[in-house]
Structure 1
Amino acid sequence: RGLRAVSADPGPDPEPQGTATPTAPAGAPPAAAPVAGCTVRYDLAGQWPDGFQAAVSVTTADALDSWQVAWTFPDGQRVDRMWDASHTQDGSRVTATAADYNRSVPAGATLTFGFLATWHDGNTPPHDFTLNGRDCA
């Protein structure tokens, strides 16, 4: 259906654990860094005729006591199940909220969660990612 994975990564473990993992900085932030100081990676782990599995990883420059990551699906996809976060969905907008065990994220760390979802006419990757209401790259 014309979809391609955003990453060549083979994908996440079906139920990954330990999602706040420190990462080494790759260098100085770009001059036009997003306001929230975060970057998002969306990985499509697998897709079948009416569903898919994906993971979202967010690297934050700031330490977090709690987090919410939100995005917009362009093709009406619906999240059925999520791990390492809880979710709500209002139309095409999905919000993932930290689980009790992974609320705190140190500065420079990456938080990751995964989900299963359905799709029908298309499965274009999501856009308009935010972390705690602020735009991410």
Structure 2
Amino acid sequence: MANFARTDRVGQQMQREIAQLVRLEINDPRVKLVTITGVEVAGDYSHAKIFFTRLDGKQAEAQEGLDRAAGFLRSRLARSIKLRIMPQLHFVFDSSVERGSHLSQLIDKAVASDFNLDDNT
């Protein structure tokens, strides 16, 4: 049986709640294509890093929209998640999805070039 820290469970719950709030309740067009990829909560629950990605490359625009909505999101989270201290929300762009996509394209190119070399011999 896996032994998860309470901060991990709180982070997972926050991720689900924030993703739903962003999708359903924030009308800012800068935030519409945002995907919440993870949440790291500090051990004392004072701060939470919310990792997000946006595949259309407008991460600075999304960052501004999320930073502007942070107070609203924090107040809505306080209603749905019962914690003594609701963490301050800090949004961080998660470039791992883009990096993974780029590496996948490089691998596909390498495999295609190997295939073309095999066909020529």
| Same fold by TM-score greater than 0.5 | no
> TM-score with structure 1 length normalisation?
0.28
Task: Using CA pairs under 8 Å that are at least 6 residues apart, name the structure with larger relative contact order, 1 or 2.
Answer: 1
> TM-score with structure 2 length normalisation?
0.31
